[in-house]
Amino acid sequence: MIRSVFRGSGSALPAKVVSNAELSKTVDTSDEWIVERTGIRQRYIAGEDETTSTLAIGAARAALDDAGIDASEIDLIVLATATPDNTFPATATKVQAALGCTGGMAFDVQAVCSGFLYALATADSLLKSGMAKRALVIGAETFSRILDWEDRGTCVLFGDGAGALVIEAEEGEEANRGVIASRLHADGDQHDLLYVDGGPSTTQTVGHLRMKGREVFRHAVVNLSSVLREVIEDAGIAAADIDWVVPHQANARILDATARKLGLPAEKVIVTVDRHANTSAASVPLAFDTARKDGRIKDGDLVMFEAMGGGFTWGASLMRL
């Protein structure tokens, strides 16, 4: 049996922090409204010299250092992003060039906020099939570049950043480590609730994020609790066996409502939305790395990742460190 086992993680954030109070100088909003509705207190915003690839490269280097693995040993880079540096080539190839590991595969996946779950499941499948041995799975975004800074209903919710995991194929009898079970879903009928109104083949512009927040919220809680139940069942565990849930950091109220539906105590849910806001595909690996580095998530822990985003797309993955 081949398992994709965890080797290391890393993350990167832009230099600039923007608080709710600062945002309220340019947008008709307030710290009180944002904190009460979302739990967000600040976000990191990329400067002119920071892009999705520079953040991804920072996170990838930190993950390789943490894993004690040289870039030359990586033969697969899967990068989840909805804000690539360019329409093509894939931002993953820029990361590959910067790391100097030009031997294997490198490509982007696009599933917006669930992108990291899609990237992890894809990398896991390629490792299990024997097509690659060591993978960098990255989520990296600069959502600040696709926000309508005059739309207070969306621009206060997002931030920029990147997170990365190194996973490695390991052969053996032991079935208890690495990626244990994953489920992915999509429902293209829900396009109009969350989308970007531009693109190369339609408007030839990058476009801006558009969202019906209230409806997204409702779908998020239903879809996330259902996919979490599926993965718990596939893995043959009880919800109480999970040491940590690392959810997509969209909104503190979505995190609370989903945990409540599954009967998971709030202390087991990693929350970084207060500091990072919603960093889309970067949010899960960024939150995971933050909680590993501050000592909460430890070797041997059973960790559940979950996310939902535009499309809609959603998914969950269970991993033993």
Is 278 part of the annotated catalytic residue set? yes
Nearer to ligand ACO, 38 or 122 (CB): 38
- Closest residue to ligand ACO, based on beta-carbon distance: 213
Q: How far is the CB of 308 from ligand ACO (least distance, A)?
A: 5
Residue 214 engages ligand ACO in binding (rule: CB under 6 A) = yes
Is-contact 248 306, C-beta < 8 A?
yes
Start-to-end CA distance of the chain, whole Å, equals: 17
Nearer to ligand ACO, 51 or 251 (CB): 251
Q: Judged by CB under 6 A, which stretch of 75-83, 126-134, 163-171, 213-221 contacts ligand ACO? A: 213-221
Q: Which is nearest to 152 in space by CA: 231, 38, 310, 61?
A: 38
Beta-strand pair 160-171/16-19: unpaired
Pick the binder of ligand ACO from 2, 18, 31, 37 (CB under 6 A). 37
Q: Which of 223, 248, 251, 276 is catalytic?
A: 248
**Amino acid identity, residue 262?**
L
The distance of Cα 237 from the centroid of its chain, to the nearest Å, equals 24
| Other C-beta atoms lying within 10 Å of the C-beta of residue 90 | 20
Distance CA 54, CA 196 (A): 23
> What part of residues 86-125 is at the interface with ligand ACO (CB under 6 A)?
113
Distance CA 76, CA 138 (A): 11
- Angle, vertex CA 215, rays to CA 192 and CA 42, nearest 5: 100
Residue 213 engages ligand ACO in binding (rule: CB under 6 A) = yes
Is 176 part of the annotated catalytic residue set? no
Residue 195 engages ligand ACO in binding (rule: CB under 6 A) = no
Binding-site string for ligand ACO from residue 301 to residue 320, where x marks contact by CB under 6 A and - marks none: -------xx-----------
Pick the binder of ligand ACO from 216, 242, 255, 321 (CB under 6 A). 216
Is 161 exposed, middle or buried (CB count within 10 Å of its CB: 0-12, 13-18, 19+)? buried
> What part of residues 133-162 is at the interface with ligand ACO (CB under 6 A)?
152-153, 156-157
Q: Which of 20, 223, 251, 278 is catalytic?
A: 278
Q: How many angstroms separate the Cα of 93 from the Cα of each of 20, 42, 53? A: 35, 31, 9
Instruction: Name beta bridge partners: 139.
Output: 80, 163
Pick the binder of ligand ACO from 96, 278, 279, 313 (CB under 6 A). 278
Q: How many angstroms separate the Cα of 137 from the Cα of each of 56, 64, 120? A: 10, 11, 6
Q: Which of 20, 101, 113, 276 is catalytic?
A: 113
Which residues of the shown chain bind ligand ACO in the complex (CB under 6 A)?
29, 33-34, 37-38, 113, 152-153, 156-157, 194, 211, 213-214, 216-217, 220, 248, 250-251, 278, 308-309
Residues with a known catalytic role: 113, 248, 278
